[in-house]
Structure 1
């Protein structure tokens, strides 16, 4: 009975991991990098100095918005936290049909950033659950299906491997299929609690999309649901009487005291410059496990606190905490590195599982040198994704340093570079023999990652100088991570080259 259960779970584990494994690999890799999305963005905008205080940054943003969007219906201000450097501002124009701009990036003093425009680490964060070039809803449905497959694969893998913890201590090199199985077991078990947590909480974060029936049964519309789930407090309609907005920096200082010095996440100003203006200040997701944060309401004209925001229920707080644990924004630096390393193990777990599928089945083929079309597709998709996407990621960083700083469409061109390079790598994987394609793409990936610090040195100057100027070690640490990644890719290229040589000898 037990053997029958394990055998059936083995089949479930194999196919649930394979069918969407390539997408899961990209999701894991981008999500892992996104644990340092603020730092990646700062590296990609080396001209921007960090802000001294949130209150100062908000005061500067208020002055800028008053000059450039004084007649807007609402403002949204996201000041830099302890890890960020810029203030993001958005506004809703009084005339939506005007077609003007609705956002800007400011420095800590409220000056518009004159630096290389980039989507930075935020793009990689969104890519891991919103994908790209697809409608957001469809992308999230696809990602949710992949996450469900991942959860099934993890649970069925636990049932299948009866010696999973014993095998954890076995890592044998140069043993072919046995080595890939050992690597898969080690990377899976080493961060198993993380893998379960990150997959389940990822599904919880979009539960209303994946399980819409309860929402439809309890609420008349999606707007009514969001108003109840994420209340912002009552606010009066605009009176049509102009009256200056009270200093937002002072409100931030007061809110910070009430929030026990917790970091501010964003401000939402309704009807700025109107007699009925209101301000909602919410704590940052980095301020604790509760990613939705606490909100404090102010009268926009007097600057005095209003009635407290409606309390949230236990279920809402539980959902908010699970989303916070998934995103890891609350984590201090050592814990964030632990998140990062666990994500690396998750990425390796998916990659080794995909390679293991081909390694196991090649031995069962009637003619391993002439496999059937399905096997060839899987084998080449492995190369295109596992080797090709890291190369695309390196090209994204290189594009940031090589594209003209003044180009108006720089963010789109950086993103396009990533997908173009990935497409070229995929094409190369399809036309070359797999072992040679592994070697070629891994070698180019090593060169690309090694080139990132060199190109950065030529384009913007030494990392140590940037670190001294901005009082931050982000720049040299980023270069070090690039070099370590290049070394790992070089080892992979050498291993693939030896495997290709061995394959040719066996064929002869």
Structure 2
């Protein structure tokens, strides 16, 4: 059959969007929520106070050194994150014990120097990591699935632009209650409105995964084999020159002396992260990293000193090569850590519209196929595709509410508490998929939307009964991060309640 170029692009657009559409929707939802990981972390650890940001590092760095010298004086590595911005609102320390021990971390109170006593939870970090590291899957498998889904997304965007020759006309067109046509109009509206964002986020996502989809880049310059691959990553990403503990104890310079040594090279107010290799050892080295959250560049300026003499060992600028600079800009755009409040809001809204873009595309495909084949015998495969659509698009947000409920209702002292929260999230998602498969389309939407609406509506009430600071006493504690989460839950409940009301009034086709 002879097909025009646009017809071929239409077929390509349809199948690239459909084959990994459910994965793409999952990536958009978790990516959008992961962008708010710090705020979600705050809500899921209600024991934490308001953010403890500092402008100068001297006292805070001394607090971190005092704690690490107490709990891990012979660790192989220290890492100190200073509370500089919303992305890092608390002083956080990490240390790697000698040998094979796992890395440990704590959030410290800058006033007392003691760890905060918080419940065990993976918080918003779980959602951020699920966006690019699918949970329960081996890393190799998740890397390739994410890479393929991103590639398919880029192909779908380019072919979609080619298909819609009246792209701007269709942007202003929406025909309600027209079945498949309405789904297509909504899909076009979501796509065209956020087209620059979708192109940027997809292309930069591929740059993130470039070493997965283009591994020959490494072998071409470093040679094949795992050892050469590790050498490449060491050369590109290492922040400290190689050093190994000698086993000979030696006192490091004091914090004021170290800052005095680094200040001519980097204003101390820019220091965001400090890394110490072989602390309290004769081979100790210390690296001061500038912040990346305020800059579009994803990499930091790094100054490495001998921790005993203050002698300069290495000074790496933010941009040392054009290729690295380009990659850093792409990663910075993708993560959006540099953005101020208004631009962050635009990121979130664009991410949510991306979720709607993928969802409406999935539903349009089923609706259009049903319309074409309505004179034929009903196809069972379309029934199952529609059920999975509902279970993914509507079921996953409902399951997320269970994740938040579990955070508030599970005993704080329960062993493996964070793993139980995650297990309940995926168990709830499985239940929503079974509900979508057991009921017809209208009843499944009605059931899941009503259930989700109730769960999100009651979530602020549960929070108020289990945490000292919440939406209903925000006038006392002024912590608008916690209150904002509860308000977002109420808004979600309103949307799901409206969908349930619509489904209850609508006749089943």
TM-score, normalized by the shorter chain, greater than 0.5: yes
1:313 to 317, 321, 341: 321
1:452 to 441, 450, 459: 459
Aligned pair 1:301/2:308, yes or no?
yes
Alignment match, 2:35: 35
Distance between the aligned counterparts of 1:247 and 1:147, measured in 2? 48
Alignment match, 2:25: 25
Distance between the aligned counterparts of 1:255 and 1:119, measured in 2? 35
Alignment match, 1:410: 417
Name the SS for the 2:92 alignment partner.
strand
1:354 to 351, 362, 371: 362
2:236 to 221, 229, 235: 229
Alignment match, 2:6: 6
Alignment match, 1:290: 297
Alignment match, 2:107: 105
Shift of 1:79: 2.9
Shift of 1:231: 3.9
Alignment match, 2:197: 194
Distance between the aligned counterparts of 2:75 and 2:312, measured in 1? 23
Deviations, residues 286-324 of structure 1 (Å, cap 9, x unaligned): 120111111111222245654413762110111011001
Residues 458-469 of structure 1 aligned to structure 2 (within 5 Å): 458-463=465-470
Q: Contact between 1:466 and 1:475, CA under 8 Å: does it hold in 2?
A: no
Alignment match, 1:385: 392
Q: Contact between 2:460 and 2:471, CA under 8 Å: does it hold in 1?
A: no
2:210 to 207, 231, 236: 207
Alignment match, 1:73: 76
Q: Kindly tell me: are residues 280 and 336 of structure 1, through their superposed partners in 2, closer, same or farther at Cα, counting changes over 3 Å?
A: same
Q: Contact between 2:459 and 2:486, CA under 8 Å: does it hold in 1?
A: yes
Aligned pair 1:333/2:341, yes or no?
yes
Q: Contact between 2:44 and 2:404, CA under 8 Å: does it hold in 1?
A: yes
Aligned pair 1:273/2:280, yes or no?
yes
Task: Please tell me the root mean square deviation across aligned C-alpha atoms, in Å.
Answer: 2.4
Distance between the aligned counterparts of 1:87 and 1:144, measured in 2? 34
Aligned pair 1:94/2:98, yes or no?
yes
Distance between the aligned counterparts of 1:397 and 1:257, measured in 2? 47
Distance between the aligned counterparts of 1:484 and 1:73, measured in 2? 47
Shift of 1:92: 2.3
Shift of 1:476: 1.5
What is the TM-score normalised by the length of structure 2? 0.92
Q: Any gaps of 5 or more consecutive residues in structure 2? A: none
Deviations, residues 443-487 of structure 1 (Å, cap 9, x unaligned): 111111112211111111352577567654211211111111111
Shift of 1:10: 0.7
Alignment match, 1:506: none
Q: Any gaps of 5 or more consecutive residues in structure 1? A: 504-508
Deviations, residues 72-95 of structure 1 (Å, cap 9, x unaligned): 111122233311333333322223
What is the TM-score normalised by the length of structure 1? 0.92
Q: Contact between 1:44 and 1:120, CA under 8 Å: does it hold in 2?
A: yes
Aligned length: 498
Aligned pair 1:395/2:397, yes or no?
no
Q: Which region of structure 1 is more displaced relative to structure 2, 278-287 or 7-16? A: 278-287
Q: Which region of structure 1 is more displaced relative to structure 2, 15-24 or 357-366? A: 357-366
Q: Kindly tell me: are residues 395 and 250 of structure 1, through their superposed partners in 2, closer, same or farther at Cα, counting changes over 3 Å?
A: farther
Deviations, residues 141-193 of structure 1 (Å, cap 9, x unaligned): 10110011111111111111111111111123222222111111111011100
Distance between the aligned counterparts of 1:235 and 1:147, measured in 2? 35
Q: Contact between 2:96 and 2:103, CA under 8 Å: does it hold in 1?
A: no
Q: Contact between 2:9 and 2:162, CA under 8 Å: does it hold in 1?
A: yes
Q: Contact between 1:231 and 1:309, CA under 8 Å: does it hold in 2?
A: no
